[in-house]
């Protein structure tokens, strides 16, 4: 058999993987008015196919799966040009149907033609060629040859071709010879390969896009399209800017596309696929074949450059690519060996194509002919922008093609509108920073910056003690605090806190001073909190359970004037020189002192004075103290009290360490409303008790999942508030099933802002992934911003900023304060917004959805992975309550491996025993792309937690050897095959990959497998083992064990 060119070989491999498809079809559409001689036209089409043998070529494989060409003799050519009737208004649909023909390259010649008739003298000829036989430039010689042949056939003669085109197979041979000659270490091929390897190192894969849906495990390649018109004025502006900057029009249009994607959450590294002409010289101009190739041009928007600077960067990229243009895209893919996936196109997922005219000019005798565009219903890309200049060059028309797996029509239309807005902005203001390019319309801007954050609400100008004070008079005998057998009424609490405040004042504290607080969890802890605040000082929470080095840093950095503690706790603190007051020596439970002067005048305390100095976890560096004022807390407490319906007589569980601001909510939301604060060690104490009944409890979702298991049927609570980590839809459903009368509130905030948003989960709410975090509380504002600190559109992922009643900043760290607390460009003058580092988006209902941290992405084999997406897929399993995904070093290599940790709904139960690695892998394989399937699965009774109740990732255990695809054994390559077929497939893997041995859990592509080798594996599996293994099955199930299981399921 004759060999294929590299481009043909790649298209053949795609065909072998995906089967018949229209995604590489190239249509020629000619609208013809006048008296058409259809028989002559049919014969002319046959003449053209006869002239160009590539149009009557089939593909076949040898015994090793290597493809070659078979040319169908003219005598055996079966080519019909049918007549299709259509209403004039439906002709576009009829043309699209013809353009979307699915070619089977083993049995169909790669060309098809039909005549569509709308009226006796109104027809359209649709000639569709598969990309394995032609490129868009081939349409010109095809159209020219068709005109010659039709003119001759109208006269009853055969066409008299003046010359014979160079056969495309000659190009395939020339290409192979060239690559062979230049394949040495100093050759052009090696030079170009080295360039592109460096140029595309670390290219994002897949590129994050503003999709409407998660990426499916396997792309369907179904496409939708929306029109895009660059009007005359804007086209002129683009042309002028291109001339001024010394670049082509295509560079301006492509740069604008990169900017739009940048603003819609795709990052600062945007790879875009662009067509590259590969015809060697003019001698090939009349040859029909797939010469056009693809360049991957990487748009670098890092550092927020001006648009003009971006154009210069792109100009440099294009010149460098031109200097290394001889490496075909197929060779580039082989050289870079990106992770193979059926979910997305390799190396780039967004394509751009600008051409100068909508189609070739054709003159057919007796007819008025206009070339029209047509597009198949399939696409290999996630997004592609296909633009064509009008015949007079005054406008640019085109389409945005989108993968319907990812986008809805409305989403694509919005993206097209954003593109035009961005194009207008950059042509009107070329020096604009790319991060400041505006893609919003005025209505959306108002929705995001006014309607969603219009939260102004009256807040009394009081301090925390003033907020609580009315309850002392309203119900002095009501129970204020309970801890075990100890209880305090509001009168007793008022008296004790007054005595403590007098003692502290006598020790010299007052507004803006800091008192360290290190006490065990008891009723006195609440007394200490309120007493310190009554004295005018702010408190510094100190947890003696923390490492000594951390406590030492905290005491030195905050430098409290004194520490309020007890004797036992004082002994556990690191060595220091700070004065300690011991609670047990202060006589706070003595008789009331009603003598005049018992309550001395205190220094004036204002709402903007310090309430506490709370240190962040420091997981990413040195702990920082966050200064929060009374006004911050009063505002938050008032809003939260209304949200959770606190009232006199209600009971609030206080289970959180005072080192976390949840404790502030628990204590002061209760005390300011006349409720009871019940102090416990932590929320897990409820499980040890075996029963609890109350009004409100606040906890981290992962902890509550464990409590819920222990208290089945013995927990009564009006409102459960969750914060600190993502509340999954699965856990919310579980809680509502177990506690149908409980209101669920998902809250969000951080130490730097106290609470920012809440979402009360409505009855009947159903969702996937996580529960929204809702809308901002009164006097709080939330913005989802892009890289230039401009709002991103609704539904687009960006960084979450919190404004309004935020904290002062970081204690004694003006530089870090300036980095995180920025001027709020959207709020009242002088106000600030806090940069949370969290990633979020506004959903269609105007609720915020929290998606994770901006640094939470993982990268494996060059592919970006969102762990939350994997975790969401796992918790949809009915027997899984919680899931966490981590990237750990793979045994024996420097590469990483995805490990999934799951907690069963019933740990230790029969269902938990069924959560084997094999079961879990097969479960997620139906829901996730192959590259997102964990390598190992670990079943835990509970997730390890840090002192703040959040997940302690450092404590996640390493997976045992053999925790991969399933079964027992010592892992690595030593697991014994479960079946004879597994063993036979492992042996065949080894032979095809030329390896001494392959384990049943070894990944085909990690061991050097390629698409061509996958074809070879498929062919040999059938010939030698009698197994029908579709090539796509090797992608979906790339280990011998998974492939064996896959064959059982089909």
Q: What are phi and psi of 48, to 5 degrees?
A: -65, -45
Alpha carbons within 13 angstroms on the beta-carbon side of residue 53 total 16
DSSP calls for 747-764? EEEETTTEEEEEEEPPTT
Report pLDDT digits (tens) over 92-125.
Answer: 999 999 999 999 999 999 999 999 999 999 999 9
**Least confident window among 237-251, 573-587, 999-1013:** 999-1013
DSSP calls for 101-146? --B-TTTS-SEEEEEEEEETTEEEEEEEEETTT--GGGHHHHHHHH
The residue that leads in pLDDT, 656 or 864, is 656
Q: What are phi and psi of 59, to 5 degrees?
A: -110, 145
DSSP calls for 283-308? GGTT--S---EEEEEEEE-TT--BHH
Residue 678 parent element (H or E): strand 676-679
Find the helix packing angle between 464-474 and 523-534, rounded to 10°.
Answer: 120
**CA–CA separation, 834 vs 782, rounded Å?**
9
Supply the pLDDT for residue 857. 59
Q: How many DSSP H helices and E strands does the chain contain? A: 30, 39
**CA–CA separation, 221 vs 102, rounded Å?**
12
Supply the pLDDT for residue 290. 94
Q: Are 307 and 259 in contact (CB under 8 A)?
A: yes
pLDDT at 134 over 80: yes
Is the preceding omega at residue 206 within 30 degrees of 0, hence cis? yes
Residue 785 parent element (H or E): strand 780-785
Supply the pLDDT for residue 1030. 93
**Among positive and negative, which fits the CA dihedral 186, 189, 192, 194?**
negative
Report pLDDT digits (tens) over 917-951.
Answer: 888 988 888 788 777 888 889 999 888 887 666 78
Short-list 298, 72, 497, CA closest to 489: 497
Short-list 226, 470, 341, 132, CA closest to 1034: 341
Q: By CB neighbour count within 10 A (0-12 exposed, 13-18 middle, 19+ buried), where does 108 fall?
A: middle
Burial state string for 799-831 with b = 16 or more CB within 10 A and e = fewer than 16? bbbbbbbbbbbbbebeeebeebbbebebbeeee
**CA–CA separation, 90 vs 501, rounded Å?**
84
Supply the pLDDT for residue 174. 85
- CA distance readout (Å), 191 to 177, 187, 197, 245, 518: 17, 6, 10, 30, 66
- CA distance readout (Å), 645 to 220, 680, 720, 894: 49, 21, 11, 53
Band (pLDDT 50/70/90 cuts) for residue 853 is: confident
Dig out the tokens for 457 from the structure. 């609400």
Dig out the tokens for 323 from the structure. 């200097």
Find the helix packing angle between 867-875 and 729-738, rounded to 10°.
Answer: 30
| For residues 636-651, average pLDDT | 97
- Range among 301-315, 882-896, 1033-1047 with highest mean pLDDT value: 301-315
Greatest CA separation found in the chain? Answer: 126
Report pLDDT digits (tens) over 62-98.
Answer: 888 889 899 999 999 989 999 999 999 999 999 999 9
Report pLDDT digits (tens) over 161-182.
Answer: 878 888 898 888 888 887 777 6
Band (pLDDT 50/70/90 cuts) for residue 894 is: very low
pLDDT at 975 over 70: no
Q: What are phi and psi of 998, to 5 degrees?
A: -130, 130
Report pLDDT digits (tens) over 235-267.
Answer: 999 999 999 999 999 999 999 999 999 999 999
pLDDT at 546 over 90: no
Supply the pLDDT for residue 620. 42
**CA–CA separation, 390 vs 820, rounded Å?**
49
Supply the pLDDT for residue 810. 95
Q: What are phi and psi of 720, to 5 degrees?
A: -110, 120
pLDDT at 970 over 60: no
Band (pLDDT 50/70/90 cuts) for residue 294 is: very high
**CA–CA separation, 1014 vs 985, rounded Å?**
13
Dig out the tokens for 308 from the structure. 């003009």
Report pLDDT digits (tens) over 199-233.
Answer: 999 898 899 999 998 899 899 999 999 999 999 99
**CA–CA separation, 132 vs 687, rounded Å?**
66
State pTM to two decimals: 0.85
Report pLDDT digits (tens) over 402-459.
Answer: 999 999 999 999 999 999 999 999 999 999 999 999 899 999 999 999 999 999 999 9
The residue that leads in pLDDT, 948 or 706, is 706
- CA distance readout (Å), 272 to 153, 295, 353, 863: 45, 8, 10, 16
pLDDT at 967 over 50: no
**CA–CA separation, 802 vs 765, rounded Å?**
26
Band (pLDDT 50/70/90 cuts) for residue 276 is: confident
| For residues 558-583, average pLDDT | 95
Short-list 438, 427, 435, 428, CA closest to 251: 427
Burial state string for 978-1002 with b = 16 or more CB within 10 A and e = fewer than 16? beebbebbbbbbbebbeeeebbbbb
**CA–CA separation, 1030 vs 237, rounded Å?**
51
**CA–CA separation, 990 vs 727, rounded Å?**
45
Q: What is residue 216's DSSP assignment?
A: P
Q: Are 365 and 154 in contact (CB under 8 A)?
A: yes
Supply the pLDDT for residue 754. 94
DSSP calls for 495-528? HHHHHHHHHHHHTT--TT-EEEEE--SSHHHHHH
Burial state string for 377-396 with b = 16 or more CB within 10 A and e = fewer than 16? bbbbbbbbbbbbbbeeeebb
Q: Are 886 and 932 in contact (CB under 8 A)?
A: no
For 703, the 3-state DSSP assignment is helix
| For residues 387-396, average pLDDT | 89
Q: Are 773 and 789 in contact (CB under 8 A)?
A: no
Residues 6+ apart with CB under 8 A from 457: 639, 778, 779
Count of beta carbons in the 10 Å neighbourhood of residue 231: 14
> Average model confidence (pLDDT) for the chain?
90
Supply the pLDDT for residue 619. 40
pLDDT at 990 over 70: yes
- Polymer length of the chain: 1050
Alpha carbons within 13 angstroms on the beta-carbon side of residue 355 total 16
Short-list 719, 754, 721, CA closest to 739: 719
Band (pLDDT 50/70/90 cuts) for residue 549 is: confident
The residue that leads in pLDDT, 893 or 771, is 771
Angle at 358 between CA 355 and CA 362, to 5 degrees: 125
Band (pLDDT 50/70/90 cuts) for residue 896 is: low
Locus of tokens 């405040």: 501
Dig out the tokens for 34 from the structure. 């006048």
| Domains defined along the chain, listed by start | 6-169 (3.30.559.10), 199-279+288-361+377-444 (3.30.559.30), 856-940 (3.30.300.30), 980-1049 (1.10.1200.10)
Q: What is residue 200's DSSP assignment?
A: T
Q: Are 101 and 71 in contact (CB under 8 A)?
A: no
Find the helix packing angle between 490-506 and 523-534, rounded to 10°.
Answer: 50
Short-list 1046, 1045, 984, CA closest to 1020: 984
**Among positive and negative, which fits the CA dihedral 1029, 1034, 1038, 1042?**
negative
């Amino acid at each position: 058999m004759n060999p294929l060119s590299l481009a043909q070989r790649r298209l053949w491999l795609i065909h072998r993987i995906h089967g018949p498809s229209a995604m590489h079809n190239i249509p020629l559409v000619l609208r013809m008015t006048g008296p058409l001689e259809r028989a002559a036209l049919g014969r002319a089409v046959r003449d053209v196919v006869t002239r160009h043998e590539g149009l009557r070529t089939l593909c076949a494989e040898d015994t090793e799966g290597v493809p070659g060409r078979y040319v169908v003799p003219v005598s055996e050519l079966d080519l019909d040009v049918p007549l299709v009737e259509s209403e004039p208004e439906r002709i576009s649909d009829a043309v699209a149907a013809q353009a979307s023909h699915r070619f089977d390259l083993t049995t169909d010649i790669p060309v098809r033609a039909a005549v569509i008739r709308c009226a006796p003298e109104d027809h359209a000829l649709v000639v569709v060629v598969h990309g394995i036989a032609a490129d868009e430039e081939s349409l010109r010689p095809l159209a020219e040859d068709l005109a010659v042949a039709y003119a001759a056939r109208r006269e009853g003669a055969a066409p008299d071709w003046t010359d014979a085109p160079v056969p495309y197979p000659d190009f395939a041979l020339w290409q192979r010879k060239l690559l062979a000659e230049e394949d040495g270490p100093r050759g052009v091929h090696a030079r170009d390969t080295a360039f592109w390897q460096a140029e595309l190192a670390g290219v994002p894969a897949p590129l994050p896009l503003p999709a409407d849906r998660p990426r499916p495990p396997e792309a369907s390649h179904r496409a939708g399209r929306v029109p895009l018109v660059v009007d005359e004025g804007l086209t002129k502006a683009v042309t002028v800017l291109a001339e001024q900057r010394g670049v082509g029009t295509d560079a301006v249009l492509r740069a604008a596309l990169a900017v739009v994607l940048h603003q819609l959450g795709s990052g600062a590294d945007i790879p875009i696929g662009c067509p590259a002409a590969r015809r060697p010289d003019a001698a090939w101009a009349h040859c029909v074949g797939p010469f056009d190739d693809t360049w991957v041009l990487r748009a670098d928007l890092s550092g927020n450059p001006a648009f003009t600077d971006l154009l210069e960067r792109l100009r440099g990229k294009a010149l460098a690519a031109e200097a290394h243009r001889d490496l075909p895209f197929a060779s580039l893919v082989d050289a870079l060996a990106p992770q193979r996936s059926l979910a997305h196109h390799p190396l780039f997922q967004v394509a751009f194509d600008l051409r100068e005219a909508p189609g070739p000019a054709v003159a057919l005798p007796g007819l008025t002919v206009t070339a029209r565009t047509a597009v198949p219903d399939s696409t290999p890309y996630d997004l592609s922008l296909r633009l064509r200049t009008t015949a007079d060059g005054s406008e640019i028309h085109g389409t945005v093609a989108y993968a319907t797996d990812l986008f809805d029509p409305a989403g694509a239309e919005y993206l097209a509108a954003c593109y035009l807005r961005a194009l207008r902005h950059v042509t009107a203001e070329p020096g604009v920073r790319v991060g400041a390019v505006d893609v919003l319309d005025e209505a959306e801007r108002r929705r995001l910056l006014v309607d969603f954050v219009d939260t102004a609400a009256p807040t009394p100008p009081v301090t925390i003690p003033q907020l609580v004070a009315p309850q002392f008079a309203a119900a002095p005998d009501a129970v204020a605090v309970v801890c075990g057998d100890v209880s305090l009424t509001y009168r007793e609490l008022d008296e004790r806190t007054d005595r403590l405040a007098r003692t502290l004042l006598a020790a010299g504290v007052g507004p803006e001073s800091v008192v360290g607080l290190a006490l065990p969890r008891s009723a006195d802890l609440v007394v200490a909190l309120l007493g310190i605040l009554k004295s005018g000082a702010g408190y510094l929470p100190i947890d003696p359970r923390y490492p000594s080095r951390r406590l030492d840093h905290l005491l030195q950095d905050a430098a409290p004037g004194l520490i309020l503690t007890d004797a036992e706790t004082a002994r556990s603190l690191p060595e220091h020189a700070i004065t300690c007051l011991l609670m047990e020596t202060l006589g706070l439970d003595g008789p009331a002192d009603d003598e005049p002067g018992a309550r001395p005048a205190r220094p004036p305390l204002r709402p903007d004075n310090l309430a506490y100095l709370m240190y962040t976890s420091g997981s990413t560096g040195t702990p920082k103290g966050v200064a929060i004022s009374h006004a911050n807390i009063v505002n938050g407490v008032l809003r939260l009290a209304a949200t959770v319906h606190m009232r006199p007589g209600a009971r609030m569980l206080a289970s959180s360490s005072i080192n976390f601001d949840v404790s502030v909510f628990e204590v002061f939301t209760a005390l300011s409303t006349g409720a009871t604060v019940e102090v416990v060690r932590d929320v897990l104490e409820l499980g040890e008790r075996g029963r609890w009944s109350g009004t409100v409890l606040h906890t981290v979702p992962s902890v509550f999942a464990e409590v819920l298991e222990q208290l089945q049927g013995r927990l009564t609570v009006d409102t459960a508030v969750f914060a600190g980590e993502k509340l999954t839809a699965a856990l919310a459903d579980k809680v509502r099933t177990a506690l149908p009368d409980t209101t669920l509130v998902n809250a969000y905030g951080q130490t730097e802002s106290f609470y920012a948003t809440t979402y009360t989960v409505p009855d009947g709410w159903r969702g996937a992934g996580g529960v929204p975090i809702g809308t901002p509380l009164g006097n709080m504002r939330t913005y989802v911003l892009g890289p230039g600190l401009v709002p991103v559109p609704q539904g687009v992922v960006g960084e979450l900023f919190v404004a309004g009643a935020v904290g002062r900043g970081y204690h004694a760290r003006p530089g870090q304060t300036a980095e995180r607390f920025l001027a709020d460009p959207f709020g009242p003058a002088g106000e600030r917004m806090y940069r949370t580092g969290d990633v979020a988006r506004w959903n269609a209902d105007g609720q915020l959805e929290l998606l994770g941290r901006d640094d939470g992405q993982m990268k494996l084999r060059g592919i970006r992975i969102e762990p939350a997406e994997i975790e969401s897929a796992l918790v949809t399993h009915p027997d899984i309550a919680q899931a966490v995904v981590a990237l750990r070093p793979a045994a024996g290599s420097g590469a990483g491996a995805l490990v999934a940790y799951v907690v069963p709904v019933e740990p230790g139960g029969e269902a938990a025993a069924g959560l084997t690695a094999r079961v879990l892998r097969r479960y997620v394989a139906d829901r996730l792309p192959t590259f997102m399937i964990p390598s190992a699965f670990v079943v835990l009774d509970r997730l390890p937690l840090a002192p703040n109740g959040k997940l302690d990732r450092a404590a996640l255990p390493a997976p045992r050897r053999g925790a991969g695809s399933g079964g027992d054994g010592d892992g690595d390559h030593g697991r014994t095959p479960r079946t004879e077929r597994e063993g036979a497939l492992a042996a065949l893997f080894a032979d095809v990959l030329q390896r001494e041995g392959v384990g049943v859990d070894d990944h085909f592509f990690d061991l050097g497998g390629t698409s061509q080798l996958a074809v070879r594996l498929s062919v040999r599996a059938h010939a030698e083992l009698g197994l029908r293994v579709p090539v796509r099955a090797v992608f979906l199930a790339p280990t011998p064990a998974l492939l064996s299981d896959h064959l059982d399921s089909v």
